[in-house]
Structure 1
Amino acid sequence: MYFAAMLARTEDGWEASDTELDNVETLSDIADLARESAINEDTVLVLIEQEDAWFGVVRVDGEDDPRVYLSNAAVANRSSYGAMLVEELVGREDDEDVELDALDLDGTEDGEPDIEEEEDESDDGAAASVAPNGPLGDTRLLEDLGVDEKVLLALDGDALTSIADVLGCTEILEAVR
């Protein structure tokens, strides 16, 4: 069972709304939903949890790229919404690796594949993406809001309530729960 809520920052604090993720297939879809809820292109947080097994935070600030944090990527990867976020995050890391490979820093000749790349390919030719066991993403995405990296990494159980406590919007979040 999922719980998803959107917290939109306003001049008067935070507004919360229950978020329906049925039509969401990508991180871009989540970002679009968040931008629709934004007041004056201010910060919107999409909070997702699955039965205290994992939680995720997607932060959208105006037209900037969304920032994502997952508490446990391996567990999240077993669920549809979590897997979507893991895929986005692992894909970003792969893109960064590709950019480095384009600089030919690995010692291979142009056009010559890495031995590791050949081993990472599955039977259908697509690169295998493996979710790491533990946190994944931007561990500092809530620092300016009062939730530093150490606190975020230590959260478990009812993490969304703990985040809402720091933001000062626990009652607002609980009203949509």
Structure 2
Amino acid sequence: MKRHDEIGNDEHVRGPADAALTVIEYADFQCPYSARAHLALRDLDGRFGGIRLVFRHLPLAHLHPLAELAAEATEAAASQGRFWDMHDLLFDRQRHVRDEQDFAVLAERLDLDIERFRAEMLERRHRPRVQADAERAHRDGASRTPTFTINGLRYRGDSDRASLESALSEALGR
């Protein structure tokens, strides 16, 4: 069994492999706190000379009815090499995603092969990947979003910019 801070070859990783900070994030594309953390981490990336971000799905479908489909949409985009583009777009356009058709609109905006994207979404091809991440989240003790591990230690603070900046600075000092 993988430890929560071990990073597998099939994971979604952005940032330099030799970054001084590695952040593992469990998030939900429909969660406003995950969206806030996305903006904060994007803003803080340059301040810390590049953050290695590992993204894992934790869709909270009981709170956000489109959360699982949003996660699957990123995986459908990933199958075309565009995970991070869809990731960013879903967080940036979170308030505008109101139904299943909006995922196809975003896929078109990214110039994905729309027929392939729609087929993968319709057959729920990427659901097992999303469910595996969610199961791992529960094994790792993550039950809310966003949940972070920073340089191997669980972060229990808020997802706002100031709190994350403080935690990242503290992690660099260790």
Scaled by the length of structure 2, the TM-score of the pair is: 0.30
Q: Whose Rg is larger?
A: 1
Please state which structure has a larger fraction of its residues in helix. Answer: 2
Scaled by the length of structure 1, the TM-score of the pair is: 0.30
The higher relative CO (CA closer than 8 Å, separation ≥ 6) is in 2
Please state which structure has a larger fraction of its residues in strand. Answer: 1
